[in-house]
Amino acid sequence: MNSTDRMQYQIRLANILVKAGKNKRYYHSLQVAQMAEDMAKRFGLDADKAYLSGLLHDIARSLPTNQLFYLAGLAQIPIKEIYWGNPALMHAPVGAYLLQRDFGIEDQEILASVRNHTLGAPQMSGLDKIIYLADMLEPGRKWQGIEVLRELADRDLDIAMKEALLQSIDWLKEKGKRLDSQTLEAYEYFCKLVAKKDI
Ligand SMILES: [Fe+2]
Ligand SMILES: [Fe+2]
């Protein structure tokens, strides 16, 4: 993907987000794209795919709840119980659907990384991990302990994912929010993986 292609995707995204008054989300998307590209280069993964997934991961984030449910219906996305209480989480699978439908993106790795960026999943691909982590750690993000996780993400994606998922689970518990079984399964998966690495 050359710089003209990149710019075209940026313009399309800006048309959607900036027009909707979501300048901050557009800026966040650019930051995630940049960080995902840097991480891909560090870990020997496809930097263009990482950039594109990062840029477009929140394509459905600004849609109202009724649109999310409508599009989920069209895309035959199973409505998990957690979506009723927190419909915004659907922006991940709905985003993957829109990228395929409206942007003509057929790359399954890209679509999966967008689909998995809110709940996580067991056996995440390298690209899935990068997008999940870049979304959480891009330079605009600020929360206590972020530096520790950024350092981990520089060194080992699996260890960083284990800690990132734990961070998400703790945050949900603290806020009294529901935890989806997929997130817990993802956390258990990375716990086992990391434990094996230590042997
Ligand atoms: Fe998102
Ligand atoms: Fe995001």
Amino acid letter for position 175 = K
Output the CA 57–ligand 2 centroid distance in Å.
6
Q: How buried is 90 (Cβ within 10 angstroms: 0-12 exposed, 13-18 middle, 19+ buried)?
A: buried
User: Could you tell me the CATH number of the domain that includes residue 136?
Assistant: 1.10.3210.10
Query: pLDDT tens digits for 93-140?
Result: 999 999 999 999 999 999 999 999 999 999 999 999 999 999 999 999
Count: domains in the chain: 1
| Residue 164, domain extent | 3-198
Output the CA 29–ligand 1 centroid distance in Å.
9
Nearest C-alpha neighbor of 35 from the set 145, 143, 157, 118: 157
Amino acid letter for position 116 = N
pLDDT band at 42 (very low <50, low <70, confident <90, very high): very high
**pTM higher than 0.85 for the full model?**
yes
Output the CA 192–ligand 2 centroid distance in Å.
27
| Contact between residue 94 and residue 72 where contact means Cβ atoms under 8 Å apart | yes
Output the CA 58–ligand 2 centroid distance in Å.
5
